[in-house]
Each structure stands twice: as C-alpha cells, then as structure tokens.
Amino acid sequence: ALGVGAAFALRGVVPTRGQLPAPGRPPGEAPALPGGKGLVVVVNEASGTATATASMVREALPLAEVVECAPADLSTAMEKAAGRGQALGVCGGDGTVNLAASVAATHGMPLAVFPGGTLNHFAYDLGIETVQEAAAALTAGDAIQVDLGRFRPGPNGPEGADGYFLNAFSLGAYPELVRTREHWSPRIGGWPAGVLAALHVLRGQRPLEAELQGRKRPLWLLFVGNGLFQRVGPAPGRRHNLA
C-alpha cells in the first residue's frame, strides 16, 4: 500500500511523457517510403538494444535495406548508405545517431531514427519511442526539422574537422564520467556504473584550463545544450522542440 501510494504521488508530481502535451514541431520535407523502399538503415551492433530493434525494423519495413556493422565501420557504412538510398536510417544510441545526422546533413538527405541504444535521448525527444512509430512516419513521408549543433576545434586542433552534435557538447568532468560509465556498464549495469563513474571522476578529475576574455580560469565543466531544455516540476529537463 505504501509503495502504490508513493508511486501515484510521484506520478502526480512528475508527469510521464504521455501526460505532457504534444510539442509543436516545424514540419520538414521527406519522401514517402512505403514498406521502407529506398531506405538504407545502418545498425550499430554494439548499441544497447540495436540487434533486437534491427529485427523489428526488418519486419515493419520489409523493403528497406538493413546493414549491421561494428562501431569502427559505422562511418564508412553510413557514407555508402547515403550514396544509394533516398533516406538514411540509423539504429543505435545517441552517439550513433549523432554520427548519422552529420552524414545525412552533408548529403542533404532525411534521417530516419530507430531507438536502439540505452537512453535514446534524441529519439525520445523527437517523439519516436518504437519502431512502429518510425515506420508510420516513413510510410507517410512525415518529417520534422531539427537543429544540428556545430563546434570547431581551437588552434591546436585538427584543421577542417568540425564536430556536430544533436543533444549536447561537453568538456571537462561530464565526458570523463560518461566514458567511465560506458566502460563498466556492460559488466555491472548502467546505474551501478554511473555511481562508480561519479566516484571516480570526483576523486581524480582535475579542472581544464580555459582562456576567457584574456584571463586563464579553471574549467570543471562546459555544457552546451542543443535546443530548449524545459523542466516540469522536479523532473529532469527535456526538449519539447528540437528546432
């Protein structure tokens, strides 16, 4: 009784996605691809649920071409896929989707996102939580516009190697926390790995050195969010519009 009561109380304070109003998103142009004809989907085999999701993609979109590959081969596979399809599909986590977005933007083609990672922040903010929802959008040619963030390396970085991001760009403690968490999560699970990563970073991390307006300052964390993050009550912030 206590548990059920606490659950309903929390649900009243922190609304679920289904309780929130549908966001207004600017429409984009994309061809209708019934059955997935003209779609090439690149799947990251190492992503959280990508292999199982790929099977559902084949079932929902029998005319689509599905290419499964290792993380090291993703960039090459996506470039090839962009050259032979009307739309580029991607199945994986946020990092995989981020890479696919930069390829799709370079080739000027629409991107179809299938949530196949652990957290799937971008896909969920996009309104895509299942393969069936993505398949319905493809069949109808239903697309929306999103912003793609860009950062340029400093004078000591490689020339012409701009980076792109859909969710956020970070420097300092947070990227180190994510790297440590991803290293341990396959062995001990996501939440225990997150706790271990936080302890590791807090114990051993040192600030970066940043130059701001001619003065050098210690920098623990730089976070650049792409889009407007909004909070409802004590719930973590999420984006209702990605453009």
Give one DSSP letter per residue of 158-184, joined into a string. PTT--EEESSEEEEEHHHHHHHHHHHH
pLDDT band at 45 (very low <50, low <70, confident <90, very high): very high
What sign results for the dihedral spanned by CA atoms 113, 117, 121, 127? positive
Please report, as a single letter, which amino acid is at residue 48: G
- Please, what are the domains in the chain? 30-149 (3.40.50.10330), 150-239 (no CATH)
| Interior/surface letters 164-194, b for 16+ CB within 10 angstroms, e for the rest | bbbbebbbbbbebbeebbeebbeeeeeeebb
Rounded mean pLDDT, 138-150: 93
Range with the poorest average pLDDT among 63-67, 96-100, 229-233: 229-233
**Position 157 confidence tier, pLDDT thresholds 50, 70, 90:** low
CA–CA separation, 109 and 112 (whole Å): 10
92 neighbors 47 (Cβ within 8 angstroms) = yes
DSSP 141: T
Strand partners, 65: 40
Range scoring the smallest mean pLDDT among 10-14, 80-84, 85-89, 183-187: 10-14
> How much of the chain, in percent, has pLDDT values that exceed 70?
91
| C-beta neighbour count of 92 within 10 angstroms | 30
172 vs 205, which has greater pLDDT? 172
- Mean pLDDT is lowest, of 16-25, 132-141, 145-154, for 16-25
d(CA 180, CA 174): 10
59-85 pLDDT tens trace? 999 999 999 999 999 999 999 999 999
The whole-angstrom separation of Cα 40 and Cα 68 is 11
Secondary structure class of 111 (helix, strand, coil)? strand
Tokens, residue 83 = 């050259």
CA 42/CA 67 separation, integer angstroms: 5
Can you give the pTM of this predicted structure? Answer: 0.80
* 212 class by beta-carbon count within 10 Å (0-12 exposed, 13-18 middle, 19+ buried): exposed
Q: If pLDDT is split at 50, 70 and 90, which confidence band does 162 have?
A: confident
How high is the mean pLDDT of the chain?
Answer: 87
Is the model's pLDDT at 51 over the cut of 70? Answer: yes
SS3 of 51-88:
HHHHHHHHHHCCCCEEEEECHHHHHHHHHHHHHHCCEE
Is residue 17 pLDDT above 70, yes or no?
Answer: no
- Of 80-84, 126-130, 172-176, give the lowest mean pLDDT range: 172-176
**Which residues 6+ apart lie within 8 Å of 75 measured at CB?**
99, 103
